[in-house]
Amino acid sequence: MFVFPGQGSQWAGMSRQLLAREPAFRAALQAVDAAVQRHAGFSPIAALQSEEAAWLGRIDHLQPVLFAVQVALAAQWRAWGVVPDAVVGHSMGEIAAAHVAGVLDLDDAARIVCVRSRLMRPLGGRGAMAVVELSQAAARERLRGREDRVSIAVSNSPRSTVLSGDPDALEQLLGELAGDGVFCRKVKVDVASHSPQVDPLRAPLLTALHGLAPRPARVPMTSTVDLGDVAGRELGPEYWVRNLREPVQFAAAIDRLLVGGDAVFVEIAPHPVLLPFVESMIQERGRPDLAVVSGRRDQDERAVLLAALGALYTRGFPVEWSKLHARRGRPLPLPRYPWQRTRHWIAPTRAAAIGKVHGAHPLLGGALRSSLDRTWFWERSLDLAAAPYLADHRLGDLVLVPGAEFIAMALAAAEVVGAGAYALVDLALHSPAVVPDDGNLQLQTVLRADPDGFTVQIASPAGDDAWQVHVTATLRPDASVLIGHVPSASIREAATGPIGHDPSDILPDPRPARSHMTLRPASRPCRPAPRSPAPTITTISRRSASPTAPRFRPSAACGPATARRSASCTSPTA
């Protein structure tokens, strides 16, 4: 199924590689370019090739360019043998969907998108839109009494709704929702489509689209306006007025398409916009359906398309290989072999010491390539030779990875992807991680982006196909987190004097008698300080940390010590 989104997938430089290297894409784009020039007086190809991206800020240029790219991407998929069994469109994406379905010829489709976007341009600066984490029904309840100023614009999923309307009224509503703990995010647009603000466009749009000649659909199309199958003839001027004004029922349309056998969705856009919503609905149903992209922002466009084509081929889709490889070799029969099905896996060797592998992170290990959007993987091998400080953190005879090590790994993951200052919340320690005395422990860290920040999971292999989860946590943005904070001069002057440096002054471990936990010197690097109501500065030794650790967060060995140091310096009456 081909899925055509509305705005949001655009980026400067998109489609240049495909325009230069793919004949089918280029031919389709040239045809749309000629049609858009007839109705709008500018060239989408010239806009795409321009070093200036001013067209991205003009809705009357942006929408025709996106329409042109969508039609060309659909033509490229067809050239490779990928033909849709059904199509669905989202807002302005319904125009390209109707053309690919055979309902609109190219000239009529170009006329609709050019007229629609030209009429919307004067509305710029008068509207606003926002995504809220509410069902459509719940959002409708919150809009009671202000329907004339704010409307439901889009239902993207059972838990995601887009609101549209007057900026002041929307801002007030978002404040109320945020106060109730509802996730809200403004959309970077200044036109309130699918709201009362577009009502004045009804008459001029009907007049400008007079004479449209929709035809019977050749490819099944599901309407996101009516939620029914499109016969074809009903997509006249009145339908396109409703397409601009009424809510986009995308979630219900996808829900309808998921009924029945396995489904495969291809988003026809230079960057995925709707795929996350489709994937979430697939996962909620526990189905084996597949969703692939046609491009990703700032990535090799042909490589992304070919990767998606390979994913479709592995699911049984026929591919027109002659379009990719014009010169075909002479096939030869291969001799058959009576497979015994005996497994001969090579035993894994001990991984290199922490920080010794080129490009590896001292806390996370080597990064793995991921096929999942905004998901990162690392694998790290822990053993006592590579991380000798672990030997000092024992429960009986077992060497355990300290909880502070996991915390440091979670924070390091967010730091590596450039997320900035984050606070760790909802930390759950599910099971201990035991480091063998004569082997190694493989730890995999998975960082996933979500609308509010990140989730992190740290696990180790527990068999051929099983994993044992040790830690899960959530990372949320927190500008109050101070990284590399140094106490002010006044605090340092008011602090108690230096503590003695005799090795016998090491803070004793208060817990071994009752918990059987042994914290040896590497896990007890704090010097004692007297109880005092005045500020106290404690020195933490890092002599047992990894030699590469200073480039990153403090050694995990400092974690238990820091907690006890804080407790020991607290007034007894506190």
User: pLDDT digit string (tens) for 265-322?
Assistant: 999 999 999 999 999 999 988 888 899 999 999 999 999 999 999 999 998 888 888 8
Q: Pick from 523, 536, 525, 465: which is nearest to 501 by CA?
A: 525
Please list the alpha-helical segments (H only) found in 131-268: 136-142, 167-179, 202-208, 237-245, 250-257
Closest CA relative to residue 522, chosen from 405, 350, 398: 405
The CA-CA-CA angle for residues 156, 158, 160, to 5°, reads: 50
Average pLDDT score, the chain: 84
Query: To which H or E segment does residue 264 belong?
Result: strand 264-267
Contact 475, 419 (CB under 8 A): yes
User: Of 90, 116, 112, whose CA–CA distance to 198 is shortest?
Assistant: 116
Q: Go through the domains of the chain in sequence order and give each one's CATH number.
A: 2-122+198-323 (3.40.366.10), 128-188 (3.30.70.250), 366-477 (3.10.129.10), 490-568 (no CATH)
Strand order in the sheet with 375-382: 366-368, 375-382, 441-450, 453-461, 467-477, 422-429
- Quote the pLDDT of residue 570: 36
> Alpha-carbon torsion 351, 357, 359, 362, what sign?
positive
- Of 324, 372, 353, 406, the C-alpha closest to 547 is 353
DSSP state of 200: G
**pLDDT digit string (tens) for 315-344?**
888 888 888 887 777 788 888 887 877 777
Residue with tokens 């809200």: 184
Amino acid at 508: P
Residue 472 has a CB neighbour count (10 Å cut-off) of 18
pLDDT at 347: 61
Tens digit of pLDDT for each residue in 368-387?
Answer: 888 888 899 999 998 888 78
Show Cβ contacts of residue 250 under 8 Å, excluding neighbours closer than 6 positions. Answer: 88, 90, 154, 155, 156, 224, 274, 277
Residue 249's pLDDT is what? Answer: 97
Q: What percent of the chain has pLDDT over 70?
A: 81
Backbone angles phi, psi at 493, to 5 degrees: -70, -35
**In whole angstroms, what is the distance from residue 361 CA to residue 546 CA?**
12
Q: How far is CA 99 from CA 208, 232, 511, in A?
A: 19, 10, 72
Q: Which amino acid is at 27?
A: A
Helix (H) or strand (E) holding 443: strand 441-450
Pairing of strands 441-450, 375-382: antiparallel
Nearest-angstrom CA–CA distance, 301 and 294: 8
Beta strands at 434-435 and 398-400: parallel, antiparallel or unpaired:
antiparallel
For residues 433 and 413, give the distance between their C-alpha atoms in angstroms, rounded to a whole number: 19
Surface-to-core class of residue 285, CB atoms within 10 Å of its CB (0-12 exposed, 13-18 middle, 19+ buried): exposed
Long-range contacts (CB closer than 8 Å, 24 or more residues apart) made by 179-182: 182/132, 182/133, 182/134
- Residue 177, pLDDT > 80, answer yes
- Taking the CA atoms of the chain, what radius of gyration do you get in angstroms? 30
The whole-number pLDDT of residue 289 equals 86
Our CA angle for 92, 93, 98, nearest 5°, is 105
| pTM across the whole model | 0.59
What's the pLDDT tens digit per position in 29-81?
A: 999 999 999 999 999 999 999 998 889 989 999 999 999 999 999 999 999 99
- pLDDT category of residue 532 using cuts at 50, 70 and 90: low
| Percentage, residues of the chain above pLDDT 90 | 60
CA gap 232, 230 in Å, rounded: 5
C-alpha–C-alpha distance, residues 31 and 127, integer Å: 34
Q: What is the pLDDT of residue 516?
A: 52
Strands 264-267 and 2-4: parallel
Bigger pLDDT: 553 vs 123: 123
Q: Which helix (H) or strand (E) holds 399?
A: strand 398-400
In eight-state DSSP terms, residue 291 is: E
What's CA 339's distance to the chain center, in Å?
Answer: 42
